[in-house]
Amino acid sequence: MHTEIATWFLVLSLFVPRITLLIAYLSHGIPPNNIPFIGDLLLAAFLPRALVVIYIYENLGAGPWFWVHLAVAIAVYVFGCGTASRRRKK
């Protein structure tokens, strides 16, 4: 069963996933999911991109939005990790 996720959620979560999740929670716009509330809170706090990818997969399947978000998540975690350590060394 496929349900629609709002386009604003899909686009905005590519750039600022934590803020997007907060806006969605406050506006009651979180996509339907099977994750317990405590899991939602922990993932939103520590791995927001993973939570967004889970939401997309549960609602839209492995379509283009899923692959774009997965690629961005991997790129951020792979290439973003070295930036903080390089700043500390300077």
pLDDT of residue 1: 38
H-type alpha helices, 1-90: 7-15, 17-26, 37-46, 48-60, 64-89
The whole-angstrom separation of Cα 76 and Cα 40 is 21
- Residue range 19-29: mean pLDDT, rounded: 91
pLDDT tens digits, one per residue of 65-78 = 999 999 999 999 88
pTM score above 0.85:
no
pLDDT of residue 22: 93
Mean of pLDDT over the chain: 86
- Residue range 44-67: mean pLDDT, rounded: 92
Output 42 or 83, whichever has higher pLDDT.
42
